[in-house]
């Protein structure tokens, strides 16, 4: 299970978060998104070498988070169960990667198609003499 998926399940849990700039944030999680952006309510934020500040709500950008301190009473066994839906397996024919075969209205690769030629610009192409 991805760490972010675990954190997304922590709604209404009170946590302490240390940020990369040294600030300590203590509050109740209202949400976490896929970029680990964390949204808190009833927050106490302590910047480094300053007095704590109380805030009603706070949003923290995910890449600014150093770590979460979780409460001891949290049921890790149930929260760490991976309940994400498994991706469906495709048929053998559809399992090709990339862009597929010779798709599109002009057939395969290159060639210039309806524009009258091989589309190689100046220089006369490859492998043959210049016809002197």
Q: Cβ distance 37 to 59 under 8 Å?
A: yes
The 10s digit of each residue's pLDDT in 61-102 is 999 999 999 999 888 888 888 777 778 877 766 555 666 666
In this prediction the pTM is 0.63
Paired tokens of 12: 């209404």
Task: Tell me how far CA of residue 27 lies from CA of 1, 2, 3, 7, 62, in angstroms.
Answer: 25, 23, 19, 14, 16
Domains in the chain, CATH or no CATH each: 3-71 (2.30.30.100)
pLDDT of amino acid 74: 86
Helix (H, G, I), strand (E, B) or coil at 3: helix
Q: Cβ distance 58 to 27 under 8 Å?
A: yes
Task: Tell me how far CA of residue 32 lies from CA of 5, 58, 72, 114, in angstroms.
Answer: 9, 12, 20, 52
Would you place residue 36 in the very low, low, confident or very high pLDDT band (cuts 50, 70, 90)? very high
Is residue 13 predicted with pLDDT exceeding 90?
yes
Paired tokens of 91: 């048929």
Give the HSE-up count for residue 100: Cα atoms under 13 Å, Cβ half-sphere.
7
The 10s digit of each residue's pLDDT in 107-129 is 666 655 566 666 666 766 666 66
Strand order of the sheet with strand 14-19?
53-60, 38-46, 24-32, 14-19, 65-69
Q: How far is CA 131 from the centre of its chain?
A: 56
């Amino acid at each position: 299970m991805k760490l972010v998926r675990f954190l997304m399940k922590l709604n209404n849990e009170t946590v302490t978060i240390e940020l990369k700039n040294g600030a300590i944030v203590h509050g109740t999680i209202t949400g976490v998104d896929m970029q680990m952006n964390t949204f808190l309510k009833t927050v106490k934020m302590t910047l480094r070498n300053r007095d704590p500040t109380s805030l009603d709500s706070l949003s923290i950008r995910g890449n600014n988070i150093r770590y979460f301190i979780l409460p001891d009473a949290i049921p890790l066994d149930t929260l760490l169960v991976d309940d994400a839906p498994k991706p469906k397996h495709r048929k053998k024919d559809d399992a090709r990667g990339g862009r597929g075969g010779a798709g599109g209205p002009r057939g395969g690769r290159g060639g210039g198609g309806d524009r009258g030629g091989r589309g190689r610009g100046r220089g006369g192409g490859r492998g043959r003499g210049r016809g002197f």
